Chains A and B, each alone.
Chain A
Amino acid sequence: ETGVTQTPRHLVMGMTNKKSLKCEQHLGHNAMYWYKQSAKKPLELMFVYNFKEQTENNSVPSRFSPECPNSSHLFLHLHTLQPEDSALYLCASSQEGGNEQFFGPGTRLTVL
Chain B
Amino acid sequence: KQEVTQIPAALSVPEGENLVLNCSFTDSAIYNLQWFRQDPGKGLTSLLLIQSSQREQTSGRLNASLDKSSGRSTLYIAASQPGDSATYLCAVNPVGAGNNRKLIWGLGTSLAVNP
Contact = CB atoms under 8 A, between A and B. Distances in A.
B interface, over-half SS: strand
Interface string A15-36: 0000000000000000101000
Interface string B61-97: 0000000000000000000000000000101010000
Interface residues of A, number: 29
A105 B43 contact: yes
Range class of the B interface residue count: 20 to 34
Contacts of B51: 99
Interface in B21-75: 31-32, 34, 36, 41-46, 49, 51
Q: Which of B43, B45, B100, B102 has the most CB of A within 10 A?
A: B43
A62 interface: no
Given A97-B99, A100-B34, A100-B49, A40 B42 contact: no
Contacts of A88: 41
B44 A31 contact: no
Contacts of B107: 40-42
B46 to A, nearest CB: 6
